[in-house]
Chain A
Amino acid sequence: MKRRRIADRGVRVLFSVNAVLAAAVLLGILIFLLAYGIRAFIPAGAVDPEDPSTQPLTLGGFLFGASWNPDAYGQPEYGIVPLLLGSLITTVLALLIAIPMGIAGAVFIAERLRGGVRVAVKMAVELFAGFPSVVIGFFGLLVLGPALARVFNVPSGLNVLNASVLLALMSLPTIISVSDDALRVVPHSYREAAYALGASPWTTAIRVILPAARSGILAAVMLGFGRAVGETMAVLMVAGNAPIIPRSLFDPVRTITTTIAIELGESAFNSIHFFALFALGFILFLIALFTNLIAEALIRREKRSFTL
């Protein structure tokens, strides 16, 4: 009897420790990125006044500098602005495609598809969400790139547009799945009330169900944003990667994620460059974290609004 009680206590502790451990990973990532990133500004080693590559960065220069050029001979530059703009431009363009497509698609799937067809479509959407991003990037490189170059008559199809189209495609499963869930938790009474007032299925879907699910759909958009802004490999393969602020859809672009992927391998351990890439990672972490927390709050709000 006593042994059973002790076992009961023991597993409870075991499980709770693991839960806390899992949650602590988030804190761990935050602390490590901060501890490494900060050394780009406050170096631990000696600063050689003769060598510009050992000069610590200023926070202002990092956050507002308009040029990212760590390899520049003489005076390396670590301005995050072109990279941040690169990430935001590709992501926003991707969402301009993915939001209308995703919401329209989700309304269709939630309101019109039943049974086997619904399962098949949902399965295709979820399978695509699991496609390796290198495979999607490979397709963008070999098919979408040349196609865009031909259609728009530009020398290279590796540009903002290509990256945005791939990101749109990659964020669509997230937007569709989360929106579909949001639409389906709208209580039946809403639909019945609309029908009772003589509304057609279309009017019911667009004027009643969709507005009722708006918090959840906004959450879907936020999660789609998070997916797109954090994507690395597909963008790396199709964006052209020049660290300039793009002037048109057909210019190459460099994002925060791809900069880390390109430069971490070539930066020397413990150099300012190395730590500056962790500072980039920290910015990316904050963007992703806030995106997620907002999405979570929106989902909570939708759930609450239906449980009155």
Chain B
Amino acid sequence: MNSLPADRRRRKYFLSNVYFLFLAVPVIIFLVFVAYMVFYLFRNGINVISWEFITRPPERGMTAGGILPCIVGTLYVTLVSLIFSIPIGVFAAIYLAEYAPNNLLTRMIRSAVRSLAGIPSIVYGLFGVALFVRGVHLGLSVLASGLTLGLMNLPWIIATAEEALSSIPGSFREGALAVGATKWEAIRHNVLPFAFPGILTGILLALARTMGETAPILFTGVTYFTRELPRSPLQKFMALPYHLFALATQHDQLMKARPIAFGTAAVLLILVLMFDGVAFLLRMRIATANKWQV
């Protein structure tokens, strides 16, 4: 069988396991670093968070009061971005997964969408300035920022939705087609309901990442301070990530603003982790519920 004597074979496998332990080191370093970051931010931020902190506007030059306008602004602009990107993204994904023939045009569309996902967020910011703020005269506004963010998260939504649709077996479609359904009826009744949780997962992940983005809104509508909550989508707004950036680096009394900065970081992180967490739970449920995936 094996030409090596038993003790040398044992030694070989023992060494093999030892070598693998070395590979665990970078993973452990990474996890410790991330864990410490989360611990540090929450330790310093959690005491700042109170009912007043999340329901009151800033006071005394951002050294007291709360961050309500930032929370509202972030949720508002994220919502606008998704209203724009969900229909376009899901429709595009249905086309790519269900209809697209395997030809040059399809390959170009896929390649373009994948490339979009790799374009730096600051470049989306420039594009937003050129197209939305100046081109169609939306000015610095929730709408301009929301559309810019929507363009940015569009490729993420397409990618996850297409994956969700492609994971539904062909037999689901064939079953409907065999009893006389049109292609759209087959997709609508036998594919979309089953792909829905996967599509929703992608939307939640996009939502979480969009909330934390700063560069695309920097020049398209976010502002350091406004007295009122945005009433119309054509107003400027405050946002959590920009608030954190401004308090951490731009404020004239950095130390006085620090507790608010920690609180803002903690609130932002909680929101992001919350949506990411729901997305993960959903994905795990899909993995266990979809028995057809062997």
Contacts and interface: CB of A to CB of B under 8 A. Distances in A.
Partners in one complex: yes
Contact of B268 (A109, A135, A142): A135
Interface string B206-233: 0011011111001100000000000000
Contact of B154 (A15, A25, A176, A200): A25
A130 B205 contact: yes
B16 interface: yes
A132 B91 contact: no
A134 interface: yes
Contacts of B124: 29
Nearest to A202: B16
B211 A23 contact: no
Interface residues of B, number: 92
B115 A289 contact: yes
Nearest to B35: A124
Interface stretch (B23-31, B64-72, B166-174): B23-31
B212 A135 contact: yes
Contacts of A139: 37, 40-41
- Name, among B91, B100, B154, the residue most crowded by chain A CB atoms within 10 Å (CB to CB): B91
B191 to A, nearest CB: 13
B122 A284 contact: yes
A292 B183 CA distance: 34
Given A23-B113, A202-B20, A292-B114, A14 B91 contact: yes
Interface string A255-286: 00100110011000100000001100100110
A203 interface: yes
B88 A22 contact: yes
Interface string B116-142: 111111111111011100110000000
- Name, among B22, B29, B30, the residue most crowded by chain A CB atoms within 10 Å (CB to CB): B30
Q: Is the interface of B mostly helix, strand, loop or mixed?
A: helix
A70 to B, nearest CB: 16
B212 A226 contact: no
Interface stretch (B51-59, B75-83, B242-250): B242-250
A59 interface: no
A128 B34 contact: yes
Contact of A230 (B20, B113, B122, B219): B122
Contact of A131 (B20, B116, B269): B269
A200 B10 CA distance: 10
Given A237-B248, A264-B126, A108 B119 contact: no
Contacts of A257: 120, 122, 215
Contacts of A264: 125-126, 129, 218-219
B158 interface: yes
Nearest to A270: B134
Interface in B1-28: 2-4, 12-13, 15-17, 19-20, 22-27
B183 A108 contact: no
B112 A26 contact: yes
Contacts of B208: 130
Interface stretch (A2-10, A49-57, A242-250): A2-10
A29 B126 CA distance: 9
A243 B280 CA distance: 42
Contacts of A121: 27, 31
A201 B13 contact: yes
A229 B120 contact: yes
A123 B272 CA distance: 14
A260 B129 CA distance: 12
Interface string A82-110: 00000000000000000011101101110
A134 to B, nearest CB: 5
A291 interface: yes
Given A19-B100, A134-B212, A134-B241, A278 B120 contact: no
B12 to A, nearest CB: 5
A7 to B, nearest CB: 6
A22 B119 contact: no
B40 A130 contact: no
A200 B184 contact: no
Contacts of A22: 88-89, 92, 109, 112-113, 116, 154-155, 158
A250 B120 CA distance: 26
Nearest to A8: B182
Contacts of B100: 16, 19
Interface string A199-223: 0111101000000000000000001
A220 B215 CA distance: 24
A131 B212 contact: yes
Interface of B: 2-4, 12-13, 15-17, 19-20, 22-27, 29-31, 33-34, 37, 40-41, 87-89, 91-92, 94-96, 98-100, 108-109, 111-127, 129-131, 134-135, 151, 154-155, 158, 182-185, 205, 208-209, 211-215, 218-219, 241-242, 244-245, 248-249, 261, 265, 268-269, 272-273, 276, 280, 284
Interface of A: 4-5, 7-8, 11-12, 14-29, 32-33, 35-36, 100-102, 104-105, 107-109, 111-112, 119, 121, 123-128, 130-139, 141-143, 169, 172, 176, 198, 200-203, 205, 223, 226, 229-233, 236-237, 257, 260-261, 264-265, 269, 277-278, 281, 284-285, 288-289, 291-293, 295-296
6 contacts: A11-B184, A21-B92, A131-B212, A200-B15, A260-B122, A260-B125
A-B residue pairs, 4 tightest by C-beta: A132-B212, A230-B120, A202-B16, A18-B91
Given A12-B99, A131-B272, A138-B244, 4 more contacts: A261-B125, A265-B218, A288-B120, A292-B114
